[in-house]
Structure 1
């Protein structure tokens, strides 16, 4: 089992939250693999994690054709697109952005090259171009802030100042912002503004994990899923 935190980060106070969805999701850029998880400490991303929706066969999309190899694909092809995104804890909504389009997805290396070349331009355009449609919630228990990004256009159900409960639907998964295919990006921060906040380590409660190496499911009461694992939330034991 992977360490919860790299050695240099042990002793940091982890924030315990719930997985922000139902169903099965593939883990990418897990902080159980490396920290910083996304290769940078900027934008509060030090311990960020990505979840890509999958079906019961752990496929991210049910269709593969010439577009998969050579071009872009409509986001509707992907299992994650439109799935509910839930609040990972009790808190208060402090920021909402819901004005970015859901763009075409890219699995093709040919389509990824021009997209990568546009990265600097997206950074210059600000948070909307990077995080896409997103929600920031101030978590009551820890006093930290959780950001959920790349949400579907016009799907956000909450507004600033609104109180939300753990497991309440706040939006749907989209492909907005700096995203190559529909997924949910989650990070916990010490402030509400990702451009100045620092990332905070987190741990998830009550989930089933199919590790990438063995594929044998195990139920975990608390932890950080490993890179390439598939996870789904489970009910807390009574």
Structure 2
């Protein structure tokens, strides 16, 4: 198991947790077996705005708390590869807006890494590799070969690649290429967790956050 630090500040909600099911994203393809998604929330909401577009149409990504939030190195390591330049897509909270997007899912999978992960960084750690995906275009601050310290800023959260709202996708792998690697289990150390219905957070020394938990670094 690859144990990481949470790669952000503030409060984020867990989506597609491997604590709920494995494979967490419904497939072993692209080493996503134990991948997790995080969406920044404030008072339980991902955006301060809800209007007719939320229900019926696409929305600008600038509405969402996660968009532009700093994404940090979850462990010390070496940058293996970087991809930047993919556009940030409009957000799609509306079921009506998600239907046509779902119909093009297969074509994105065939298009390969950038179409799925969008702008991303892959780090080599002592015990595996970690990929951080869907970064904001133009935000990546590291280059292949760089040594990074835990907590160092890598870029900013975006909505590039296979994403319907700004969020961070993170996964651990046994190799640097998600097309050939296998996914590795991940856990996080030193965080606070607000479980559903709980008024106060729980201090977690090391754990795998569950589906819909809200977490924050200590």
TM-score normalised by length of structure 2:
0.98
Which residue does the alignment assign to 1:107? 93
1:58 deviation in Å?
2.2
1:207 and 1:52 map into 2 onto residues whose CA distance is 16
1:15 deviation in Å?
1.2
Which of the residues 17, 22, 33 maps onto 2:9? 22
2:143 and 2:163 map into 1 onto residues whose CA distance is 23
2:181 is the alignment partner of 1:211: no
* Deviation per residue, 1:106-133 (Å, 9 max, x gap): 0101100000001111112110000000
The residue matched to 2:122 in structure 1 has which SS? strand
Which residue does the alignment assign to 1:167? 151
2:27 is the alignment partner of 1:40: yes
1:217 deviation in Å?
1.1
1:89-238 → structure 2 map (5 Å cutoff):
89-140=75-126, 142=127, 144-234=128-218
Which residue does the alignment assign to 1:84? 70
1:24 and 1:206 map into 2 onto residues whose CA distance is 14
1:215 and 1:36 map into 2 onto residues whose CA distance is 30
1:216 deviation in Å?
3.4
* Deviation per residue, 1:48-103 (Å, 9 max, x gap): 00000112x12100000000000000000000000000000000000100010001
2:66 and 2:140 map into 1 onto residues whose CA distance is 16
Q: Extract unaligned runs of 5+ from structure 2.
A: none
* Deviation per residue, 1:139-178 (Å, 9 max, x gap): 13x2x00000000000000000000000000000000000
1:160 and 1:43 map into 2 onto residues whose CA distance is 21
Q: Extract unaligned runs of 5+ from structure 1.
A: 1-13
1:215 deviation in Å?
4.7
- How many residues align? The count is 218
Q: CA RMSD in A?
A: 0.8
